[in-house]
């Protein structure tokens, strides 16, 4: 009987020890899993930290790569447009020369990415381009998403209509009319400020000009220097200056939010460009021909 009791006591003790060992193993494994999760979270935080600090060292990355990428919408002469030069399609214009001056000042090459105007800010935020140089006006709404340089040009909005259109002379004549304006631009904003008109946002200014010529719309609201450039190739069109839409707007270079090092360098280069007299030469080259 005593032997039986002793045997049962030993068996119970053995089961208890095994149970404790398993419990200890499970606890250790659980802690190990938590440690792994903690490590993963730490790595995630590090990635976020690197991402958030990406703008702070973009200037360093640009110089290391030896190239700065300009985003633009090349249908906006004389700011930027496609031209066939020596049989090769090139993007040229006032903005391109401004961007080239920035690249030269940084000691790097200039690459140009041509895209829709309303996609430029998203491309900048995604890191596909380093700066936007596209006759862009630094509005408060845009300033929530990007940082802007000092203004490098001041322009104004006008209306382009058919040359034989003598029915539009004042803002009152626009009531009931259809007007094109480039999507996401200050031209669209100016057009929408006119009461009684239907505004049709279009991606490309070249498309807008064609719609006026074919009679699909009554006119196009566009920046004056751009209008003058298109009129050189389209003598059947004319400019009508209406005070209510003749708002003066400035153009600035956009960089990613918080990209202070690059922004400071751009502002420094723009100032040097103006102080040296080179800026006046560019104005003469593109706006006073």
How confident is the model over 82-111, as pLDDT tens digits? Answer: 999 999 999 999 999 999 999 999 999 999
The pLDDT mean for the chain works out to 83
Q: For residues 198-205, give the mean pLDDT.
A: 94
pLDDT confidence of residue 236: 97
Percent of the chain exceeding pLDDT 90 equals 71
Residues 67 and 109 sit within 8 Å (Cβ to Cβ)? yes
pLDDT tens digits along 132-157: 999 999 999 999 999 999 999 988 89
Domains and CATH numbers, the chain: 55-152+252-287 (3.40.190.10), 155-249 (3.40.190.10)
How far apart, in whole angstroms, are the C-alpha atoms of residue 23 and residue 205? 73
pLDDT confidence of residue 57: 81
pLDDT tens digits along 217-245: 999 999 898 999 899 999 999 999 998 88
φ, ψ of residue 203 in degrees (nearest 5): -70, -40
**Ranges assigned E (strand) in the chain:** 67-72, 75-76, 80-85, 88-92, 109-114, 131-132, 146-148, 153-162, 178-182, 198-202, 219-223, 237-240, 248-251, 254-256
How far apart, in whole angstroms, are the C-alpha atoms of residue 151 and residue 267? 9
How far apart, in whole angstroms, are the C-alpha atoms of residue 212 and residue 260? 42
Report in angstroms the alpha-carbon separations of 71 from 74, 99, 123, 135. Answer: 9, 10, 8, 11
pTM summary value: 0.68
Report in angstroms the alpha-carbon separations of 261 from 59, 61, 69. Answer: 6, 11, 16
pLDDT confidence of residue 270: 98
Q: For residues 175-182, give the mean pLDDT.
A: 96
Q: Does the pLDDT at position 252 exceed 80?
A: yes
- Estimate the share of the chain in helix, then strand, then coil, as percent rounded to the nearest 5: 50, 25, 25
pLDDT tens digits along 11-37: 443 434 334 444 433 333 333 332 333
Contacts of 230 (CB under 8 A, 6+ apart): 77, 160, 205, 206, 209, 222, 237
Phi-psi label, residue 147: left if phi above 0, alpha if psi -120 to 50, beta otherwise: beta
């Amino acid at each position: 009987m005593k032997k039986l009791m002793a045997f049962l006591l030993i068996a119970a003790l053995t089961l208890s020890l095994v149970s404790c060992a398993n419990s200890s193993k499970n606890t250790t494994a659980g802690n190990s899993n938590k440690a792994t999760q903690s490590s993963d979270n730490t790595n995630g935080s590090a990635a976020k930290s690197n991402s958030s600090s990406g703008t702070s060292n973009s200037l360093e990355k640009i110089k290391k790569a030896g190239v700065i990428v300009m985003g633009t919408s090349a249908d906006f002469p004389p700011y930027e447009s496609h031209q066939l030069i020596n049989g090769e399609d090139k993007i040229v214009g006032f903005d391109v020369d401004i961007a080239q001056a920035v690249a030269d000042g940084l000691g790097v090459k200039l690459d140009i990415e041509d895209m829709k105007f309303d996609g430029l800010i998203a491309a900048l935020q995604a890191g596909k381009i380093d700066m936007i140089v596209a006759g862009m006006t630094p509005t408060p709404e845009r300033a929530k998403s990007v940082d802007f340089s000092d203004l490098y040009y001041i322009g104004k909005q006008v209306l382009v209509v058919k040359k034989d259109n003598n029915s539009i002379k004042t803002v009152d004549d626009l009531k009931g009319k259809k007007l094109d304006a480039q999507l996401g631009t200050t031209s669209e904003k100016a057009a929408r400020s006119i009461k009684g008109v239907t505004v049709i946002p279009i991606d490309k200014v070249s498309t807008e000009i064609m719609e006026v010529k074919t009679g699909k719309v009554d006119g196009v609201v566009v920046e004056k220097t751009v209008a003058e450039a298109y009129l050189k190739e389209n003598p059947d069109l004319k400019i009508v200056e209406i005070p209510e839409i003749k708002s003066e707007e400035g153009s600035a270079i956009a960089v990613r939010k918080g990209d202070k090092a690059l922004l400071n360098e751009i502002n420094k280069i723009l100032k040097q460009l103006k102080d040296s007299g080179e800026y006046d030469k560019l104005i003469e080259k593109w706006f006073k021909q």
